[in-house]
Chains A and B, each alone.
Chain A
Amino acid sequence: AQSVTQLGSHVSVSEGALVLLRCNYSSSVPPYLFWYVQYPNQGLQLLLKYTTGATLVKGINGFEAEFKKSETSFHLTKPSAHMSDAAEYFCAVSGGRRALTFGSGTRLQVQP
């Protein structure tokens, strides 16, 4: 069984500030972990993914995430927020030959 918990349904940051979106997962098998972004009225777009190997994963648009097995976490960060980062972000887990299980999403607001 797999599950994802995203802490904070809404996060607001100032432009230029650090972005930190939290994700904790549960998986009975070694997980594959993903972050997707959804802009208004659009489908989901992959930001980054962790499968195996290096635990710090870099994605598009300056985002990165670190897989911490001991904490069962896969938090998403970006050093400096931009207005265009305003969107909804979904963490997802996959493992055991099943499709993705998504978290409930975090809506990121960026204040000027």
Chain B
Amino acid sequence: DARVTQTPRHKVTEMGQEVTMRCQPILGHNTVFWYRQTMMQGLELLAYFRNRAPLDDSGMPKDRFSAEMPDATLATLKIQPSEPRDSAVYFCASGLVLTGDGDEQFFGPGTRLTVL
């Protein structure tokens, strides 16, 4: 049963520390998305990649957030330095986008980040 995996599932850190979240997309998928979910803002798209190239990162605070795909099996989202307002659940999703935007995205279980 192929699924998206995310590590860690939970992270508690102190303000100013670096946080790295990892995602393993489903093998064969060519598109990876990063979302953030908070009570106040709901689900927000942070960035997404197709064939490992960044297509859109306009939802990401550029000064502290960075997203990369070192290879096809790993996507990372890094926050440096972290702030309390970054506390949220971060979801990774992957999909096989062939014809446009009608293709399903498969979500990972999320990383619950708490910044003290």
Contact = CB atoms under 8 A, between A and B. Distances in A.
B104 A43 contact: no
Given A49-B102, A96-B101, A102 B110 contact: no
Contacts of A42: 109-110
Nearest to B104: A46
From A42, A43, A94, residue with most partner B Cβ within 10 Å: A43
Interface in A68-112: 90, 94-105
Contact of A43 (B45, B101, B109): B109
B105 A100 contact: yes
Interface of B: 4, 33, 42-43, 45, 48, 56, 91, 93, 100-102, 104-110
Interface of A: 32, 34, 36, 41-46, 49, 51-52, 90, 94-105
